[in-house]
A and B are shown apart, each in its own frame.
Chain A
Amino acid sequence: MRILRLEEIENPELKEIYEEIVKRFGDGILRSELIAGNKLHLHVEKGFLRKVSSHIFDELGAFYCTTAGVDERPLGGGFRAYHIFSIDEKNLFIVVSAEASPSLPRLPSIANDVQGANWAEREVRDLLGIEFDGHPDPRRLVLPDDWPEGVYPLRKDFRYDLKEVPRVKKQYPMRRPEAEEYVMPIGPYHPALHEPEYFRLYVRGGRVVDAEYRGFGVFRGVEKVAEGRLTYTQIPFIAERICGICGFTHSSCYCEAIEEASGIEIPERAQYIRTIMLELERIESHLLWVGVACHLLGFDTGFMHCWRIREGVMDLCELISGNRKTYGMNLVGGVRRDITEKGREKALEYLAKMRKELREISEVVSGMSELTARIKDVGILSKADARKLSVVGPTARGSGLKRDVRVDHPYFAYGKVSFKIPVYSEGDVWARLMVRVEELFSSADIIEQALEGIPSGDLMAERIEIPVGVRGLGVTEAPRGENIHFLITGAENKIYRWKVRAPTYNNLPSVPIMLKDESLADAPIIIASIDPCFSCTDRMVIVDEKTGEERVLGAEEILRLARRGEIR
């Protein structure tokens, strides 16, 4: 392996960036390569990891995406952590990686310089056993509480179907409340929707002073199952089952990564079909969220109307793909189903109807002063904090960051359509609501243009060959924000490593900031405002630390209090 020469880079902006990096950290760069023209891989010396990362994050203005840990021992290396950064305005990705020794894997932590890396490094530690020196919070993140220390499932010598891992009795360490502070757990089970997640709020006199999160109850070992059991063409189907709301964006992202890694050009018609399905999914997901938000604010009529409008898009998806959700349309190299003339007509018909109905409901919502008063200036995430944590999607756009993968790193047919990206600078729940409502109209614009401009032709690429040992990086804009799949191809028609980073992963760490100093009654809507794949109409337990007395509020009571905007 070798160092990339400057002449090999065509992109003038990347050339400039690379020149600067080589000038400053020349000795620390062990290896460098350029993939797909805009993804610069830098393999650096351990000691340079922090310096190079903070140079990219602070001085080049890059956003942090995620960290992927890989067990490269079977390839003749050690353990490697890939830190992925994206420079949005220049459509560039920089992947900085360093190797840890196989016997005692240790790497310096970048989480102090790049706050967003906090969770990702904890995940790598859990799954691969790389210790990050100087990490501010080295607690367990993704593995279950009863998982024994020292068993690392993503190492290659761990069998994916090993069920007999012993259970240990251990509690997840959480901060003890201080005097005058009350603990208010939200979770792990919710009456209305979604997943087993747990928020612990520290409350003082009805105000939230701090919050902690313990989630990953839905950790199913997707990556390991895919590496262990599935072939390339089967993975889109498991990718679609990562999320039942935005599954198509995951399978598209995986296919994008594989297609990029192996240089497969997919037919233009397939690109348009993927674009249309992605936008239909966005409409479905945003309508769902707007409905849930109305429900949390006590406006159940709005909830029911949003879900009524949503039923049309579900029927449309069923007409096109054969299923209401988990469409199963993506394959490496193209799509399995065409959009017929009937599907096209129905889609246009639905979009026109949706626009009209949505306009009505958004006028009602924005005209209700009792509703807007609950969400304006509530749950504020400042632009600086948003940048520090590298939040994505509507959460970022509600805080004044103009980030959208569809424009920053155009994929599929997004380069060929024009649409508006709503950005609000307020950073409150209202801004995030408005971003999503306006995006619904943009999505309708995109679908209409795509249906207009869709060319005829094949659905699958003719030649599909996947080389061994290449890296791919796929990025799509899911309804909740940037979605990243990083992969390394392997032998025997199987993938060597597949790392998935869903948007909520980057957005959730911003919730404690939003909750700070807010009224407890606003907590459900603030948590839901990032659309964290769950709504929070939860039962809560108030524990009086001094007397040890426990008072349980039911969902009804909490909702009633939350709607009244107060809490006893």
Chain B
Amino acid sequence: MIKKSIWIYHLNTGGCNGCDIEIIDVLTPFHDAERLGVKLVGSPRHADVILLTGPITRQSMEKAINAITAAPDPKFIVAIGSCACGGGIWYDSYATVGGIEAFYKILRERGVKPPKVIYVPGCPPRPEAILHALAYFKGLASKKIKKRVFVEK
């Protein structure tokens, strides 16, 4: 999906640090994501992939939208952890938006085209799982589940 080196930007939208620390763990020599050409960058303007953690709190939402719109196209989001994937334990709290789906709804309402998203569930996901997502962008690994839609009758 991405031919050149993947530059990643880490966007914490209210995560508890569990996923954030595992992301750093992926970048340190033990797991060594840099061998895949992955580089952590300090600005969303340089990023190909945004690693999003946390349930998107009300306070961080506007800032998260700014960061996502600042990233150049084509861009991808990796929703890391249960919170980012679906709001996690905070899905219905008054202080959070509640996961990437609800967040994308707000983005669409505002006329921002939401980037394609890859889900990495877990609380926190293992470093290997995050590495798997990054390897997917390089075509080294395949998706583990297919999209299925269930309709209530």
- Name the residue on A nearest B102 (C-beta): A163
Q: Are B21 and A245 in contact (CB under 8 A)?
A: yes
Within the assembled complex, what's the spacing in Å between the Cα atoms of A217 and B56?
9
Q: Are B90 and A221 in contact (CB under 8 A)?
A: yes
Given A221-B93, A221-B94 in contact, is the A196-B123 Cβ separation under 8 Å?
Answer: no
> Chain A contact residues (Cβ within 8 angstroms of B): what range?
35 or more
Which of A70-78, A266-274, A303-311, A437-445 participates in binding chain B?
A303-311
Q: Are B30 and A247 in contact (CB under 8 A)?
A: no
Q: Are B21 and A288 in contact (CB under 8 A)?
A: yes
Q: Are A196 and B93 in contact (CB under 8 A)?
A: no
- Name the residue on B nearest A328 (C-beta): B123
Q: Are A194 and B30 in contact (CB under 8 A)?
A: no
Within the assembled complex, what's the spacing in Å between the Cα atoms of A194 and B62?
18
Number of residue pairs across A and B with beta carbons under 8 Å? 157
Residues in B neighbouring A243, C-beta threshold 8 A: 16-17
A483 to chain B, nearest CB (A): 15
Q: Are B17 and A244 in contact (CB under 8 A)?
A: yes
Q: Are B92 and A326 in contact (CB under 8 A)?
A: no
Residues in A neighbouring B22, C-beta threshold 8 A: 324-325
- Confirm or deny: B59 has a beta carbon within 8 angstroms of a beta carbon on chain A: yes
Q: Are A218 and B60 in contact (CB under 8 A)?
A: yes
Residues in B neighbouring A125, C-beta threshold 8 A: none
B18 to chain A, nearest CB (A): 2
Q: Are B93 and A161 in contact (CB under 8 A)?
A: yes
> Chain B contact residues (Cβ within 8 angstroms of A): what range?
35 or more
Q: Are A217 and B59 in contact (CB under 8 A)?
A: yes
Q: Are A220 and B93 in contact (CB under 8 A)?
A: yes
Within the assembled complex, what's the spacing in Å between the Cα atoms of A49 and B72?
56
Residues in B neighbouring A374, C-beta threshold 8 A: none
User: Which residues 1-45 in B have Cβ within 8 Å of A in the complex?
Assistant: 9-22, 24-25, 28-30, 40-44
A456 to chain B, nearest CB (A): 32
Residues in B neighbouring A188, C-beta threshold 8 A: 60, 63
Q: Are B30 and A144 in contact (CB under 8 A)?
A: no
Instruction: Indicate with 1 or 0, residue by residue over B52-73, a CB within 8 angstroms of chain A CB atoms.
Output: 0011011110110001000000
Within the assembled complex, what's the spacing in Å between the Cα atoms of A147 and B13?
17
Within the assembled complex, what's the spacing in Å between the Cα atoms of A477 and B144?
41
Q: Are A192 and B18 in contact (CB under 8 A)?
A: no
- Kindly list 4 other residue pairs between chains A and B, CB separation below 8 angstroms, not including A160-B93, A243-B17: A196-B13, A217-B60, A324-B124, A325-B124
A sample of 29 cross-chain residue pairs with beta-carbon separation below 8 angstroms, ordered by A number, consists of: A143-B59, A144-B95, A163-B98, A188-B60, A189-B44, A191-B9, A191-B42, A192-B10, A192-B42, A193-B24, A194-B17, A195-B12, A217-B57, A217-B63, A218-B57, A219-B59, A220-B90, A220-B95, A221-B95, A225-B90, A225-B92, A241-B88, A243-B16, A243-B17, A304-B29, A311-B25, A325-B18, A326-B123, A554-B42
Question: Hey, which bits of chain A sit against chain B, CB under 8 A?
Answer: 143-147, 153, 158-163, 165, 188-196, 216-221, 224-225, 229, 237-238, 241-245, 247, 288, 303-304, 307-308, 311, 314, 324-326, 533, 537-539, 554-556
